[in-house]
Amino acid sequence: MPNWQIALIRGINVGKAKRVSMAELKALVEKLGHGDVKTLLNSGNVVFTSRTDPSAAAAKIEKALAQVTGVEARVTVLTGDELSAAVKENPLLKVADNHSRLLVAVLNDPGDRSKLMPLTKEDWGKEAIALGPRVAYVWCADGILESKAALALGKALRDRVTSRNWATILKLHAMTNG
């Protein structure tokens, strides 16, 4: 069974800054020795197989991205098992009725989870924050841009977190399980 990993690159191809073509990103990840490389959408999602430790893979991709493209961006790598757990354990599916407004914030360092514990105890009104072992789930009832919960999470971790909506997470999960 392949050892799937998922690289999430923070902040590329948002607006006009930090532009990286997915073909170039795919080639970069392949050149680092990873197999079965596939990208999803145009926002820095790469699925691949590897025997490299995920944190080492993240560091190598981050360094190569800067060297090859001139784009500096934080890279977080999850294992396929971590992604599967995030999908299986999402406690907000009962309240989230729009997959584009349900965020999964992937922690660059799972130890940062403790910094988010106070946020889970706050009253967010229609919004919600819940934690998994490697992710935080954020329900943005009135949209992501208006979400006080998402803003608070971003403020707490800054570039040590990258978020994808639930629809994207499900697509990445399907790529590693099919």
Q: Identify whether the C-beta of residue 160 lies closer than 8 Å to the C-beta of residue 108.
A: yes
Q: What's the pLDDT tens digit per position in 1-44?
A: 569 999 999 978 777 778 788 999 999 999 999 999 999 988 88
> What letter would DSSP give residue 34?
-
pTM of the model: 0.94
List, in order of start, the domains of the chain with CATH numbers.
4-79 (3.30.70.1280), 82-176 (3.30.70)
Q: What's the pLDDT tens digit per position in 99-137?
A: 999 999 999 998 999 999 999 999 999 999 999 989 999
Q: What's the pLDDT tens digit per position in 40-87?
A: 988 889 999 999 999 999 999 999 999 999 999 999 999 999 999 999
